[in-house]
Amino acid sequence: MATVTYLEAIRQAIWEEMERDSRVFVMGEDVGVYGGAFKVTEGFIHKFGKERVVDTPISEMAIASAAYGASLTGMRPVGEFQFMDFISSAHSQIVQILAKSNWRWGAPAPLVLRGPSGGGVSGGPFHSQNPEMFYVHTPGLKVIAPATARDAKGLMKSAIRDNNPVLFFEHKFLYRRVKEELPLEDYTVEIGKARVHREGRHLSVITYASMVYVAQEAADILQKEGIELEILDLRTLLPLDRDAIRATVEKTNRTIVLHEDTKTGGIAGEIAAIINEEAFDSLDAPIVRITAMDAPVPFSPPLEKAFLPKVEDVVREARHLLKY
């Protein structure tokens, strides 16, 4: 066992997969000598050479397209977007071609497009977004957003080994803040399975990525009042683990859906609908959404703090629901 950061976990996953499978290679802006903007691929070029660690022009469209082409020839590319905000520059390629390749032409596209998303670091409106829902709405893709180092590594390995195009949303706030001991041996985490991050019996907080830790802090506070939160970390957003969502609602009968993405069209609405469809008569209170405001991410630190969901929000809403 060794303690590693969330970022190091991702680095290890890609490194080990490249050692294991010669078809795996990385490409992206400054992933070579520079080692990537966040240093996820630091040292890769010395180990694997520039054939397998490819610097690209500043064009997300080019990265997605080249990765797709490579995947068709039997390679298993891992494309890095320096910031997931700019995935929109590759939108057409991802939505029209990658997602539909296997369905329209019977041509699987085993590739991973990964990069940092999320706020809390004063990155401003172009470097703090959570664009995952554009892709959760696109059948044919898989969308992953891990919260822990262990899951980041295990899910990255599963993503690289998966035969579908997988979008891997890392959370930049967690890169160096989350540390955890990881097993030394090779392991994977199954895509499409949520994880109970903390057991509780009074109220479920369904969430993912950095908001898992917001829920955790709230749970610590509420525990002192005798309120036990159960935290369900979705881990994969597409496909969603409907069974786990249903199970936690059936257990606690009260639900908060918490995410850092903005409210309208966020996954909380989808989850509320799933609960309505599958566990309506397990509800003892309305489903509450706690999300970022419907606004671009502010640059100003005080404004960004106001914009993002906070521990106090979860504590307040939980108390309210318990009284409901």
- Report the nearest approach of another protein to the CB of residue 250 (Å): 9
Residues that bind another protein (CB under 8 A): 253, 280-285, 323-324
Q: Which of 148, 113, 149 is nearest to 131 (CA)?
A: 113
CB nearer to another protein: give 224 or 323. Answer: 323
The least CB distance from residue 66 to another protein, in Å, is: 27
Cα separation, 288 vs 274, whole angstroms: 14
Residue 203 CB, nearest approach to another protein (Å) = 12
- CB closer to another protein, 176 vs 320: 320
The residue written with tokens 């822990």 in the block is: 148
Q: Give the sign of the dihedral formed by CA 148, CA 265, CA 117, CA 210.
A: negative
Q: Which is nearer to another protein, 284 or 294 (CB)?
A: 284
Nearest distance in Å: CB 139, another protein: 16
**What is the residue whose two structure tokens read 């899951």?**
151
Q: Which of 98, 208, 211 is nearest to 163 (CA)?
A: 98
CB of 105 to another protein, least distance (A): 12
Which one of the listed residues 91, 127, 137, 202 is annotated catalytic? 127
Q: Show contacts of 36-45: CB within 8 Å, 24+ apart.
A: 36/80, 36/82, 37/82, 37/83, 38/7, 38/116, 38/172, 38/175, 39/7, 39/11, 40/7, 40/10, 40/11, 40/14, 40/80, 41/11, 41/14, 41/80, 42/11, 44/14, 44/15, 44/18
Residue owning tokens 């009284």: 323
Q: Which CB sits closer to another protein, 47 or 316?
A: 316
Whether 46 is catalytic: no
**Residues 297/123, Cβ–Cβ less than 8 Å:** yes
Least separation in angstroms between CB 243 and another protein: 16
- Rounded to the nearest angstrom, the gap between the alpha carbon of residue 135 and the centroid of all alpha carbons in its chain is 12
Which of 102, 282 has the CB closer to another protein? 282
Instruction: Compute the distance between CA of residue 257 and CA of residue 245 in angstroms, rounded to an integer.
Output: 10
Angle 6-20/149-161 helices, nearest 10 degrees? 30
> By C-beta, is 275 or 292 nearer to another protein?
275
| Whole-number Å distance between alpha carbons of 89 and 61 | 6
Q: Which residues are catalytic?
A: 127
